[in-house]
A and B are shown apart, each in its own frame.
Chain A
Amino acid sequence: MKQRLRICALAAFLAFCATSGQAQTVVIVNSSIPSSTFNVKELLDLYTLNKTHWDDGSRVTVFDLKAGKAKQAFYDYIGMTEEDLQRIWLRKQFTGRARPPHAMSSEDELVAQVGKTIGGIGYASEKAVRGKKNVRIIAKLKE
């Protein structure tokens, strides 16, 4: 009986770990972006549209999700709310400084677009990124 309980507990733990692994949110860029890792400040600058060009001079194209857990995890990570970002994006757009992020309906769509767009950056769950071509993970969010 005790052994069965231990097996059940182990199975539950493994299931929890597996689930946690799936929920891991990652930040991805198009593989054209030179190899680098990004800290929170740099991601914040990219998503507040303060950094509009990569170091090689190409334009940054930002992708965002319309909704979802990955979106919430990413916003929490960079310390911004949706309202904060919308306000900043609108000001940048209406003063001609930058184009607001492209809002995608699904993580698969976002990953595909980042893969297709030179200079593209976005975020998604690690599961949605796994095995995808032309994208590279530059940050894993601390949970």
Chain B
Amino acid sequence: MRQPNGIRCLAATVLSALLFGFFGSTRLSAQDDGGLQLFGSMQTVFFHQESELRIKDPAIGAELSGTETRNSFAMQQLDLFLRKEMGSDFTAFVDLEFQLNYSSEYGWGSLSLQEAWMNYHLSDAFNVKTGLLFPAFNRLNEIKNRLALLPYLFRPLIYERLLSRKFFAEDFVPEHAFLQLHGSIPIGDFFVDYAAYTGNAESSYITRRDAEGNIDTDINPGFEFLSGVDPTEFKLKLFGGRFGLRTRDESVAFGMSFTHDYNNLRDTTRYPDYILSQSSRQLLGSDAPRIRLGADLSVRHGPLFFETEVIKVIYDYEKAERLQLEIEQSFVHGMVGYDVLPALTAYVSMQWGDYTFGIDSDYYVYSFGGAYRVNDAITAKAQLIMYEEGFKENEDAYADNYSQDVTIKFVFLGFSILL
């Protein structure tokens, strides 16, 4: 359906006013560098994986098990960043990401625009960022794809893009926002950080996979725009924010985050049979209001550092209440590291994830590894990971006590390179 001319005119007027308001005040002064900064990072890995699966299904009286081993080299990720300072007040930033041996010829990996935003700096206490951006949610979300900043090769589960379709990363963290107000206010020995943002509904409202696994962007055929834009009404959009406190030397940082949006339970293609029982499939078919709550803490004292974050996802979903089914998700990540030498860092980490959605799933990840900075640009990394996953149907709700346990051991070796 075409928009009435009046609405178009109004939209054009508002857009013009915004552009004039912003750019009309641009001050180009002598210190403007004017140059485009180009930099980047890449991470290349070799991994060895040993998986073991055990299934117990009393309904058919079967107990199954299987093992699998994989070895692979991969260009895990390459990011190219562009940054340009425009006058004293404006900065533009672009992050172009290539994943997993990207090749359009072979259909490998992916190429995506992860960030493309403009920041307007009124003062250090007040900035407006607009465009495609990683919103402030806990401390890791903003740098989740900046592999060169992380000592590990394999990120915490919900941030690891290799597993994004398995863990529905977007259930736990907001992937993108489009408008963010943010700033830092110095108070005594601390900075108070704040951010408030809004963005599109989760990606499954914009694109999904059909029964054959093909990308389907034509979710709303009546929507006249190109794919990639959000056809949902305003109430389904993302709203969120973060409030943080950090010391001026950044040795301690603490924050609390929240978001409100909707989980697209209409998109049944996201939930393969093994994830949902027939009973819990009754939950599907509508929009589930979702609140993500997060807390993060980072501490560094000399060579010792500690990072942790907690995420709790809760739903205010009438259908689930009616069916007396619990749906919620949790994630906890903790890491302790030590700079054994100025160039050598060792760490151990532990993660726990819980996915209660008719079935009760628990994930545990134990990991340890090291990162050796060969020089300012190259870091050699090694990581050993033990992944355990177990899920079973809620015994109160279901007669068949199906259960499944998966154990995977990973060894990751690789290099992180600053470009």
B-side contacts of A45, CB under 8 Å: 186, 248
A97: shortest Cβ distance to chain B, in Å? 8
A118-B30 in contact (CB<8A): yes
B328 to chain A, nearest CB (A): 30
Whether B101 is near chain A, meaning CB under 8 Å from some CB there, is: no
Against B, the Cβ 8 Å flags (1 = close, 0 = not) of A26-64 are: 000000000000000100110010111100011101000
Q: How many chain A residues touch the partner (CB < 8 A)?
A: 30
Which residues on the A side are within 8 Å of B186 (C-beta)?
41, 45, 50
Q: Mark B283-304, 1 if CB is under 8 A from A, else 0.
A: 0000000000000000010000
- Interchain CB contact (< 8 A) of B124 among A51, A88, A96: A51
Give the complex CA separation of A90 and B151 in angstroms.
13
- With A44-B249, A80-B249 as known contacts, state yes or no: A50 contacts B31, CB within 8 Å: no
Interface string of A110-134 (1 = CB under 8 A from B): 0000000111100000000000000
Closest-CB distance, A90 to chain B (whole angstroms): 6
Residues of A within 8 A of B73 (CB): none
Q: Please, what's the 1-or-0 string for B117-135, where 1 marks a CB less than 8 Å from any CB in chain A?
A: 1010101100000000000
- Separation of A61 and B34 alpha carbons in the complex (Å): 13
Output the least CB separation between A105 and chain B (Å): 15
User: In this assembly, does B49 line the interface, its C-beta being within 8 Å of a C-beta of chain A?
Assistant: no
Judge whether B83 is part of the interface by a CB distance below 8 angstroms: yes
Instruction: For A94, give its contact among B27, B41, B123 (CB under 8 Å).
Output: B41
Chain B residues contacting A50 (CB-CB under 8 Å) are 124, 184, 186, 191, 248
B183 to chain A, nearest CB (A): 11
A52 contacts B31, C-beta separation under 8 Å: no
Complex contact B149–A94 (CB within 8 A)? yes
Contact of B88 with A by CB under 8 A: yes
Q: Is the Cβ of A58 less than 8 Å from the Cβ of B29? A: yes
- Report B-chain residues with C-beta under 8 Å of the C-beta of A53: 88, 121, 123-124
Please count how many residues in chain B sit with their CB below 8 Å of the partner chain's CB atoms: 40
Q: Are A48 and B248 in contact (CB-based, < 8 A)?
A: yes
Task: Say yes or no: A96 contacts B89, CB within 8 Å.
Answer: no
- The answer to the question of A83 belonging to the interface, with a C-beta cut-off of 8 Å to chain B, is yes
State whether the Cβ of B18 lies closer than 8 Å to any Cβ in chain A.
Answer: no
Contact A90 B93 (CB under 8 A): no
Tell yes or no: B232 within 8 A of A by CB.
no
How far in angstroms is the closest Cβ of chain A from B191?
6
In the bound assembly, the distance between CA atoms of A80 and B300 in angstroms comes to 12
Binds A, one of B140-148, B234-242, B361-369: B140-148
Query: Given the complex, which residues of A lie within 8 Å of B117, measured CB to CB?
Result: 96
A3 adjacent to chain B (CB < 8 Å): no
Cα-based distance from A57 to B39 in the complex (angstroms): 26
Instruction: List 20 additional A-B contacts (Cβ < 8 Å) besides A61-B33, A91-B146, A95-B146.
Output: A41-B186, A50-B184, A50-B191, A50-B248, A53-B121, A53-B123, A57-B27, A57-B89, A58-B88, A59-B85, A83-B342, A84-B249, A84-B250, A95-B142, A96-B83, A96-B119, A99-B37, A118-B29, A118-B30, A120-B31
